[in-house]
Amino acid sequence: MPFRFTDHLYIFATIAFTVYGQLILKWRMVQLGEMPVASAAKLKFLIMAVFDPAIFSGFFAAFLASLAWMAAMTKFELSYAYPFMSLNFVIVLLLSAWLLHEPITMNKTIGMVLIVAGTIIASRT
């Protein structure tokens, strides 16, 4: 299968929207603090979080990712496109280290290298 850049934009958009959603959700939940222990307070906390504009934008990004993925499925076999979704882990790991100051350990680095290698191998036709 020849590389069709414009068709691959659907896959890349899926990745970008998914990564954004994960990062914004984590960033905002850290700001909101720990979830309460009591059931009623826990429910109130989660309902308030859902209506937080930043968190809502993450949910909307997930919706856009789904639309982009549906478009990608019209262009590619699932067995070709799906391995690219593993790049979400790599990008989230790198951006969470940079933006959220989360540590990158040796195990995470090895895993990241294996994911990238696996994606390259799986995308070869």
Q: What are phi and psi of 2, to 5 degrees?
A: -70, 150
Per-residue pLDDT reduced to its tens digit, 68-109: 999 999 999 998 999 999 999 999 999 999 999 999 999 999
Task: State pLDDT tens for residues 9-36.
Answer: 999 999 999 999 999 999 999 999 999 9
User: How many structural domains comprise the chain?
Assistant: 1
Both tokens of 105, joined, read: 């350990």
Domain extent at residue 11: 5-123
pTM: 0.88
